[in-house]
Amino acid sequence: MREPRSRASGPLLLLVLLAAAGCAAPRGDAPPPGPSAAPPSAGDGEWDAPAPEEPRPPDRRPRWEIENRVFATWTPYAWAATPDGDQARSGARVPFDGDASLAGGLRTEAWLDRVSWGIDAFYATADGEEGGTEGSLDYLTLRFGPHMRLSGPSPLELRDGEVLSIRPSVDGFVGVRTHFADGDLEGPGFFSSGDSPWWGEPVAGVRLSAMVGRRVTLHARAEGGGIDVGAWQSWSYDLEAGATVQVTDHVALAAAWRWYGASYDGDEDDLDPYGLEVRLSGPWVGLVMEF
């Protein structure tokens, strides 16, 4: 005869199941694994902490980049130039060699979208004093063309503000130089007088600069060019070395020594061909204004 089932076995079984579920649930004071926790390892079933990332060292490689600013400079200057050369006119080639005379010049540059358009012009007067030559020669030249500047890395500065290195830059430029002369020279048995035609030739050059300290910049410049088109032959060169001292944020003083030369020979088929060779050298001082 089968024994009857106990009526209390059903509720007792339910309590046992609820107690087992409560033990399996996580406790409230134990935080769940964070989002940065790694998944369990396949080998031992434990959690692997993520390896910390090492900070990358700063990139200290020198960086050269094309100058990209919008500004303009205006530089009037006075040049104590010592002239010499000769002029050919009216069948005579007359030399001239004078003392230093004051030449006036102007340089201007406008930087727009990585390219600068610049002008360099000056006017000089030479007095003929060689071999009994008397008179004077007026000379005017203008160079126009685009520039592009490649600037080196910025100076490294110490905590006290001292500059640890210099900042170099390189300018390359091309353009056209034009010339005009008016001379009245005479001496024993010869006479040379008259205006030259306007002539010109393509030129190219480079300028090297280095900022030393916060206010001083050293620079050197060299350019030259020439042309031979049959009707005339001409060439020119322009060399310079000097320094610029920054006075304010927008004004600087510039000084340099300059060597300049130009030559022109007209068409030999002309009845009275014109020829000129002029050389100028000496120091100049100017005021650089930036806008």
Domains of the chain: 65-290 (2.40.128.100)
Whether the predicted pLDDT of 212 surpasses 70? yes
Which band of pLDDT confidence, cut at 50, 70 and 90, is reported for residue 1? Answer: very low
Q: ∠ CA(9), CA(10), CA(12), 5° rounding? A: 65
145-194 residue pLDDT tens: 998 888 877 665 555 555 556 778 899 999 999 999 987 776 655 556 67
| Contact present, 147 and 221 (Cβ < 8 Å) | no
Contacts by 121-126 with C-beta closer than 8 Å and gap 24+? 122/79, 124/79, 124/81, 124/83, 124/280, 125/101, 126/83, 126/84, 126/85, 126/96, 126/98, 126/101, 126/278
Burial of 18-31, coded b for 16+ CB within 10 Å and e otherwise, reads eeeeeeeeeeeeee
Cβ–Cβ under 8 Å, residues 280 and 122:
no
pLDDT in tens, 224-246: 999 998 778 999 999 999 999 99
Average pLDDT over residues 271-288: 90
Residue 31 has which token pair?
């935080």
The pair of three-digit structure tokens given for residue 118, joined into one six-digit string: 């610049």
For the stretch 40-99, pLDDT in tens is 555 555 566 666 676 665 555 557 777 777 788 999 999 999 888 888 876 677 777 777
pTM above 0.85, yes or no: no
- The answer to whether 165 and 213 have CB atoms below 8 angstroms apart is no
